[in-house]
Amino acid sequence: MTVLTLSTSSAATLRADAVVVGVTKGAKGPVVAVGAEAVDKAFGGKLAATLETLGATGAEDEVTKLPAASGLKAPVVLAVGLGEVPAKGDGYDAETLRRAAGAAARALAGSKKGAFALPVEDAAGAAAVAEGALLGAYTYDKGNGNGAKDDKKKNNGPLAEVVLLGGKPRDKAYKAAAERATALVAEVNRARDLINTPANLLNPASFAAAAVKAAKEHGLKTEVLDETALKKGGYGGIVGVGQGSEAPPRLVRITYTHPKAEKTLALIGKGITYDSGGISLKPAGHNETMKCDMSGAAAVFAAIVTAAKLGLRVNLTGWLALAENMPSGSAIRPGDVLSMYGGKTVEVLNTDAEGRLVLADAITRACEEKPDAIVDVATLTGAMVLALGTRTFGIMSNDEAFRTALHETAEEAGEPSWPMPLPTHLRKSMDSPVADLANMGERMGGGLVAGLFLKEFVEDGTTWGHLDIAGPAFNDCGPFGYTPKGGTGSAVRTLVRLAERTAAGDLG
């Protein structure tokens, strides 16, 4: 992973492959941002004019490279857009700094060292730049531990080192911000790696093995239920979804505890390592990226490891509901009835609505331990993508205050989200003549129907939230800001921030 260091050196004197400066959109053209004074001085005060000549405007995510002026130790200056000039007295918001740092780090792929002289005014700004740069520097190692390796001679690896100028390494707040960013991004990138791994290299058993290995490294406890234990325990949803595949399902329980914790959160992740749709087969063009259908489980796994690294004063229990959804002679059929964990029965009307089936078992099991709150994370419905697009996830809950808190938490973490309702009139559409309920209801509002289905398995009196990350979990377009193409690690930062707020007593 890319190394992060803090430095008090001048942007003019630090030796690096490139020095990164910010530029904003002024009324009459680009304006050099605070932090780049030494670089601007080397250009005789004409850095903004030079950038304008090269076509720079200061727009967000805009990157412009130019040869350094004499007097600078770095041979290249990389100017990254910050958007509109903030109102007088206002600084740049955290997400603007994250995106700018991420765009710059992506542009420096293959370089050894990048010096970031962006407008950092305090530890929060330093944290944003650090997170953005480290997230933006991510590249997927195509070998993934299976023998193949990136050809380093082609300079296609990530930026090796991020030097945050103005970082005040002796200041405790800045140092803590850097340490948190390093720990957090390492786990976001772990989630990205899992999501990007081809489905023939990652199945429920190997995912579970990866969780067990990481747990041993970070002092976490794990319990893995294999197909035999799942059948014996009555986990009809997970078993049913997984029975059509030669790769059997798993349910992983991974726990982090703190001796002084006062609250416990249960985090549940949908872990469909490949989703063909089952007998209700997805059409061509809709299944090529379905290795990403385990993004929720990856997010939960990564968030719990992050909490352990940071030593958060909260107890976390993660449930990874892992299965592969395939069509075969043993697969569940539309019309089958499954007996779920806890005794409810479900008529399967569509085998491609499988995520809610594995989550339902895990939710029921998690409720038995009486956590203070439960949050599930899933690439659950295409309907949520239609509603909110590809960069925003939906939030549902059986508690309006908790839904608001989840939304606020996601915004603090820099992950776009939107609170969604659970209209009670849609519940009737899931009535079944042969079971307690069906796994499908009205087509319109399908994302809300899925949320209502999950709510049926939440024990009365238990606070529950649901994050449908189907849109932002996998980016099949071009990279932007600190977001790469492929797996994004969506919801990891939100879950970590939720754990931090819970540890601090901010959620009641």
Q: Would residue 282 show up in a list of annotated catalytic residues for this protein?
A: yes
What would the two tokens of residue 107 be?
């542009």
What would the two tokens of residue 376 be?
């599930």
Torsion sign (Cα): 128, 134, 140, 144: negative
H/E stretch holding 151 reads: none
Report the phi/psi class of residue 217: left, alpha or beta, with left for phi > 0 and alpha for psi in -120 to 50.
Answer: alpha
Q: Would residue 356 show up in a list of annotated catalytic residues for this protein?
A: yes
Evaluate whether 178 touches 4 at the Cβ level (below 8 Å): yes
H/E stretch holding 335 reads: none
Q: Tell me the β-bridge partners of 255.
A: 221, 317
Query: Length of the chain, please?
Result: 508
User: Which residue out of 180, 250, 356, 497 is catalytically annotated?
Assistant: 356
CA-atom Rg of the chain in angstroms = 24
What would the two tokens of residue 476 be?
């099949």
Q: Rounded to whole angstroms, how far apart are CA atoms 498 and 407?
A: 10
Neighbours of 216 (CB within 10 A): 11
Nearest to 267 by CA among 374, 168, 191, 182: 374
Amino acid present at 77: V
Q: What is the DSSP letter of 480?
A: B
Q: Rounded to whole angstroms, how far apart are CA atoms 237 and 224?
A: 16
Burial 137-154 (b: 16+ CB within 10 A, else e): bbbbeeebeeeeeeeeee
Burial 64-103 (b: 16+ CB within 10 A, else e): bebebbeebebebbbbbbbbeeeeeeebbebbbbbbbbbb
H/E stretch holding 182 reads: helix 172-196
Q: Tell me the β-bridge partners of 164.
A: 6, 116
Coil, strand, or helix at residue 439? coil
Q: Rounded to whole angstroms, how far apart are CA atoms 34 and 24?
A: 10
Give the burial class of 258: count Cβ atoms within 10 A of its Cβ; 0-12 exposed, 13-18 middle, 19 or more buried: middle
What does the DSSP assignment read for 282-329?
PPTTSSTTGGGGGHHHHHHHHHHHHHHHHT-SSEEEEEEEEEEE--ST
Measured CA distances, 400 to 268, 396, 459 (Å): 20, 9, 17
User: Which residue out of 73, 282, 485, 501 is catalytically annotated?
Assistant: 282
Catalytically active residues are: 282, 356
